[in-house]
Structure 1
């Protein structure tokens, strides 16, 4: 009787693992294969010979400035989005989990976190563009010219608003479960022992939530660093950030006299995002200890 039972267990295990085949195919096609192609194109020239010229281009001052711009944009929007999102999550603690307000905010955050690309760029241009609704209202009603110093909305600073727009609801989605997992018994025990509400947050709440907050911050940084569609639709001219520089390298006939520069840029981008996600995973594992 043992062999048939063993065969049945093996068949069941094989059937269970077969459910991962579609996901494995998706990861291989859209994550692993592009990474391999980026690595290969960055290390080889147009004739297939191994070269370091493409990687050497990463030390060019223009390319370094583009990476600095991207890191600055990603870090700034991640910090602002994390703080605003955390405040929204903290305000939602007053609402019961099944309340209409909380469900509405959670549903809205899920939608707005995915609202990007051409739609978001058009919304900001229609609102804050050179002839936008808010721009015209301030100019005609209050004499305030938003573009006295130039068309900033189409420059690097103009990406701050759209990025914060989708970073904040993403923070709400990722940080709210951790904040909701704070046990009420901890606050009650703190008050019973003579502690204050401020003392609870200073000595219990913030230290416990710090890993989850940092993990969400890293996720927001990686999300902003790898974003392309919104920046491409809003800043159609120039290549202020790495994704737009990759677009320029793919569409331009000559970039710094080096072929396959886009692969080297993508490789550098993969390394930075990979390090951010590795740190996110490490911090997330630490944050999950007290949530069990």
Structure 2
């Protein structure tokens, strides 16, 4: 004889079973769909303010205009010219100036920032950070005039210390490096301070408990952890020096060949008339170098944030 068990019936007093949750995939898709309208103005701004000028620059850089007939055609002539002769010398000079300034600024800025942190004085740190923020933005023509009045041929410090007798001249490659360091070292201090703050005291204590000296700690622990931040800061310094124009234009003019000054001369017709597209080709070379700098800096910054965040 088969025995059947009655099926329990749910009374009105019992709570209803919970509803099945909606799939997470659908919720995520809905959230992404609602996020897109919020970023449309940003992409529109980027397209108008950056995309359109970049496309126009690239188009005109590959356009050659016949000075006799005014007819235009597409060619690589402007790009080849911008990478040869005096223009190649200017590009090499800008790269050399940027590399030297970036290396010196990275070393000096890191040493000064570490000395400020090691002092453990909050007042000193606030003063250095505030001064660095001001000096990092003091560049261009005002900085050039200040250096000319101080270290120029008839400058105050030049006359007091008799620098002319030593052969020192502000209007040379070395003078440009000195002027660039005035605003690049403070910028490096502001850039590297958060990374130095991320070096935890527990790491030093653990290294000391294992018998490591301070030099061994920095060589085996501190510098390897800080290396992405240091390289990222050096790349940032390179880009800053590479794009600077007003300081060099006021201090040295065309005596020191730099790509930025050559672009300005070509656009204004100081050397050759009708060479605007050649100037755009030189600008395109600078854009390519700037993109390479960004391609190096962004991964380094992400890796630094992963270690020190």
TM bucket, shorter chain: 0.7 to 0.9
Is the 8 Å Cα contact of residues 82 and 216 (structure 1) preserved in structure 2?
A: yes
Pick from 64, 67, 91 the counterpart of residue 115 of structure 2: 91
Q: 1:254 to 1:116 in 2, by over 3 A?
A: closer
Q: State the partner residue of 2:180.
A: 163
Q: Distance in 2 between matches of 1:24 and 1:96?
A: 44
Tell me what 2:84 maps to: 60
The alignment partner of 1:194 has SS state of coil
Ranges in structure 1 where 5+ consecutive residues have no aligned partner:
none
**8 A contact 2:265–2:271 mirrored in 1:** no
Query: Which of 145, 154, 167 is equivalent to 1:122?
Result: 145
**How many matched pairs?**
278
The answer on 1:203 being equivalent to 2:215 is: no
Counterpart in the other structure of 2:63? 44
Kindly state the Cα deviation for residue 73 of structure 1 after the two structures are TM-superposed.
0.3
Pairs within 5 Å for 1:201-280 = 201-238=218-255, 240-252=257-269, 255=272, 260-280=277-297
- Distance change in 2, residues 1:25/1:85 (3 Å): farther
Q: 1:17 aligned to 2:34?
A: no
Contact 1:53 1:258 in 2 (8 A): no
**2:164 counterpart residue number:** 145
Q: Is the 8 A contact 2:153 2:164 kept in 1?
A: no
Confirm or deny: 8 A CA contact 2:267 2:275 kept in the other structure: no
SS at match of 1:249: helix
Task: Supply the distance in 1 between the matched residues of 2:192 and 2:207 (Cα, whole angstroms).
Answer: 23
Aligned residues: CA RMSD: 2.7
Q: What is the aligned counterpart of 1:106 among 119, 129, 133?
A: 129
Residue matched to 1:172: 189
- Asked if the contact 2:98/2:238 (under 8 Å) is kept, the reply is yes
Q: Which moved more, 1:41-50 or 1:76-85?
A: 41-50
Q: Say if 2:61 and 2:78, in contact at 8 Å, map to a contact too.
A: yes
TM-score under structure 2 length normalisation: 0.81
| 1:277, distance to aligned residue in structure 2 (A) | 1.5
Is 1:82 the counterpart of 2:101 in the alignment?
no
Higher relative contact order (CA 8 A, sep 6+): 1
How many Å apart are 1:212 and its aligned residue? 0.7
Larger Rg: 2
Unmatched runs of 5 consecutive residues or more in structure 2: 1-21, 66-70
